[in-house]
Structure formats: C-alpha cells, structure tokens
Amino acid sequence: MRTITTTEDLATFCEAAKAEPYVTIDTEFLRERTYWSKLCLLQMALPGKDGDAVLVDPIDGDAMSLEPLYDLFRHEATVKVFHAARQDLEIFFVEGGVFPRPLFDTQIAAMVCGFGEQVGYETLVKKIAKAGLDKTSRFTDWSRRPLSEAQKDYAIADVTHLRVIYEWLAGQLKKNGRGPWVEEELSILTDPATYTVHPEEAWQRIKTRTSSGRFLAIVKELARFRESYAQGQNVPRSRVMKDDALLELASTRPQSMEELGRSRLLLREGRKPEIAEGILAAVKRGLEMRPEDMPKVEANGDAPQVNGALADLLRVLLKAKAEMLGVAPRLIASSADLDSIAAGGREVDALHGWRREAFGEDALRLCKGEIALSAKGTEVRVVAL
C-alpha cells in the first residue's frame, strides 16, 4: 500500500478522487492527552475492488499541507464516505474550518436501513462485505512511528471494506426512499454548532443536585475558566480539574492560595500558579455575581405531569412503528420524548422531520383520541376512530 507524506502526492490523489463518484475516508487520532483530537493518520480509497487506497501520514509528513484534501471536501461532484463521522469531522472543522460535502455516513444510513442504533463498522463488514477484521491494532498508539505492517493493514481495511458497504447502503436507500432521513441527520453533523463549545455554557454538563443560585454561579465561573484554559492550552479538562474537584471548590469557596491548598480533590496539575490563580478569580466572580445573573435549574415541581397510561400507549405505538419500519425504537424517540409528549410537550425531536412522518403524526393523533391501538395475534394495529 502507498503512504503519502508530501503535499504534491496528496494533491495528485485528491485530483484523481475528483473524477470519481465517491471516495471513502477514515482517520486515526489521539485525544487522551489533548483537548482537541490530534490527527495521526488519514486513510482514503477510490471505488472498485482494485481501486487505489492510500495512507496519508501527517506525522512523517509534518511539512505536508492538507489543503488538497480540503479542496476535495469542497468538490461537490464526489461523495465523501465515512463511518461514524462525528469525531473525524471535528478534526477537519477545527483544523481547516471545512466540512466534506456531499457527505455520507454509513453508520447513520445503516440505522435507517434496519441495523439498529450506532451499529459498528465491524458488524457492517461482516453482514454486508462478508469479511472479517483483524482487531489486534484497534487500541494502538497511532502517534508512534514507524507504523507496523499490521497497523497499516488494519487502517487501510477501514476504507476498503467501506466501499462495498457504501454501495450496498446507497442502493437500499434508493429502494426504501429513506434518503431524506439520512440527509436530515447529516445536517447535524455539518453544523458548526455541533463542534463549538462555548465556555460560558460548560457548567450545564456538570451534574449537581444543588439548586442554590450562589453555588451554581461559582460552578458556572469555574467551568468557564476550566473550558477556556483547556481550549487555550490544548489539554484535557480533567488535567485542569475534574468535576468532583470543581464541585468541592464551589462548596468550599476558597479565596486565597492557603485556602485553595486545603482542597482534597484538586490534583497537582491544578495547583500550578496559572491554574490556581484562575480558580481563585473564578470563585471571586461567582461570589460577586448579581442574583439576576445567576444560573437557574428547573425545579422538579415545575415539570409537567406525565400521563402514565398515555405514555405506555405511546410506547406500544412506537414499538409497532419501529417493527414495521425495521429500525430501532430509540432511533425514532427516546423514553424522555414519550413522557414529554404524554405530558403535553411538543418540542421534542420525535415530532420533527422524518421522525414526525414515521411516528410523530400518529403519536399526536393518539393523544387527541383520533386513533386507537388494537391487537391481532402478535401484531399491533392502528385503528382510526
């Protein structure tokens, strides 16, 4: 197999790809020691059993520009095929500010073609390509050089089998007419908001049972500092401070280096002067935050009351619809979606886009008493009233 390490060779391959209907793409990366994923290897393959397949090595080719690749991403006559593309796309969006268009994600396509939720690549290789995968290099360190032949074989298999999988799934989507379902899901993957983390919103990911405004104000400021520092220094959030340490600091509210030093959960990394000073400044901002600016969490008492019987009927309807369509129920609606609909909520994913067509319209009709459910043997039927 060929390994590309120069801009010129990458440009030659990408120009050849522009003449093809599609190109399959995958990446190998590391994220354990950084905030942003570090691209270690890129694999691409052109159509056909004997189509050209290459490895692109940005580590050995550290002077190589990826601009030819980004130019291919902008070339809309060639479909860019990935499997479970979210983390791959984040790398390209952060590094190059570009999304591949048009995009095809075989994991999403497989879900709407009846393979269940978040189906793995290995499963599709077995069921569609009728092949097996050597998994021995799955958890390798892709940043180390030189790469072994086993690593190269494992990496290239991620794009060669993908050709067969893509062609089969694309054919299925033409037969079942669910191409728009896939396009709707892909629009989320190519939305910059999917990959943009705003430090001022970081506190919302931290689980706490405390609803005190002052406590949450300090949590918000600590989380904002942690996110900003981690992004700026390209280090994992946990290297700055873990969630349990953040919550401890929001409770103890240290206002001096001496008080900060009494923290039981703050790791040594978090005691470095630039981090320690940032923590104290964040606590100070939280303590000084005006009451009207403090974050608020919805009290359980304000949550709408769920009609349990109606929620159970919606679950039966969902299961019947999912079986009829051959897709996993959770792909259409979550348990929280069903409870929300039963409580009168209407701003849920299950009532928008293709999910509304597949399930949501009948769910609303069931809530309004316009349809009923009946059973005949093992089959559940929808009956108009």
What is the pLDDT at residue 306? 85
Q: Which two tokens stand for residue 355?
A: 């999910």
Answer yes or no: is pLDDT of 97 > 60: yes
Q: Confidence band (pLDDT; 50, 70, 90) for 118?
A: confident
Amino acid at 118: Q
Query: Any bridge partners for residue 379, and if so which?
Result: 376
Q: Average per-residue pLDDT in the chain?
A: 94
Q: Which two tokens stand for residue 272?
A: 């470095």
Answer yes or no: is pLDDT of 125 > 90: yes
Q: Confidence band (pLDDT; 50, 70, 90) for 138?
A: confident
Question: 152 — alpha (psi -120 to 50), left (phi > 0) or beta?
Answer: alpha
> Are 374 and 317 within 8 A, CB to CB?
no
Of 72-76, 193-197, 322-326, highest mean pLDDT: 72-76
Answer yes or no: is pLDDT of 179 > 60: yes
Contacts 24+ apart (CB under 8 A), 68-71: 68/7, 68/10, 68/11, 68/13, 68/14, 68/15, 69/10, 69/14, 69/42, 69/96, 70/96, 70/98, 71/14
Measured CA distances, 257 to 253, 319, 349 (Å): 11, 57, 47
What share of the chain in percent tops pLDDT 70?
98
Q: How far apart are CA 198 and CA 112, in angstroms?
A: 32
**Alpha-helix residue ranges (DSSP H) falling in 179-263:** 179-189, 213-233, 237-240, 243-252, 257-260
What is the pLDDT at residue 328? 87
What is the pLDDT at residue 376? 85
Q: Maximum Cα–Cα distance for the chain, whole Å?
A: 73
What is the pLDDT at residue 245? 97
Map residue 107 onto helix, strand or coil. Answer: helix
What is the pLDDT at residue 316? 96
Q: How far apart are CA 176 and CA 173, in angstroms?
A: 5
Q: How do strand 79-82 and strand 103-105 relate by DSSP bridges?
A: parallel
Measured CA distances, 172 to 51, 108, 112, 189 (Å): 23, 13, 10, 22
Q: Confidence band (pLDDT; 50, 70, 90) for 30?
A: very high
- Ranges of CATH 3.30.420.10 domains, the chain: 2-194
Q: How far apart are CA 333 and CA 344, in angstroms?
A: 15
What is the pLDDT at residue 296? 83
pLDDT digits (tens, 9 = 90+) for 217-256: 999 999 999 999 999 999 999 999 999 999 999 999 999 9
Both ends of the chain: CA-CA distance in Å?
A: 64
Average pLDDT over residues 363-379: 92
Query: Could you say which architecture CATH assigns to the domain 2-194?
Result: 2-Layer Sandwich (3.30)
> Are 78 and 24 within 8 A, CB to CB?
no
Backbone angles phi, psi at 161, to 5 degrees: -65, -25
Q: How far apart are CA 119 and CA 109, in angstroms?
A: 10
pLDDT digits (tens, 9 = 90+) for 47-64: 997 779 999 999 999 999
Answer yes or no: is pLDDT of 303 > 80: no
Answer yes or no: is pLDDT of 124 > 90: yes
Q: Which of 68-82, 245-259, 295-309 has the lowest mean pLDDT?
A: 295-309
Nearest to 270 by CA among 240, 242, 226, 247: 240
- b/e per residue 336-359 (b: at least 16 CB within 10 A): ebbbbbbeeeeebebbebbbbebb
What is the pLDDT at residue 17? 98
Q: How far apart are CA 218 and CA 297, in angstroms?
A: 14
Q: How far apart are CA 243 and CA 32, in angstroms?
A: 17
Q: How do strand 53-56 and strand 2-4 relate by DSSP bridges?
A: parallel
What is the pLDDT at residue 285? 98
pLDDT digits (tens, 9 = 90+) for 264-281: 999 998 899 999 999 999
Q: Which two tokens stand for residue 205?
A: 């990911």
Answer yes or no: is pLDDT of 359 > 70: yes
Position with higher pLDDT, 139 vs 181: 181
Q: How do strand 103-105 and strand 371-376 relate by DSSP bridges?
A: unpaired
Q: How far apart are CA 13 and CA 15, in angstroms?
A: 5
CATH topology of domain 199-293: DNA polymerase; domain 1 (1.10.150)
> Are 276 and 260 within 8 A, CB to CB?
yes
Answer yes or no: is pLDDT of 300 > 60: no
Measured CA distances, 375 to 128, 323, 344, 369 (Å): 35, 14, 26, 17
What is the pLDDT at residue 298? 62
CA angle 209, 269, 93 (to 5 degrees): 75
Q: Confidence band (pLDDT; 50, 70, 90) for 145?
A: very high
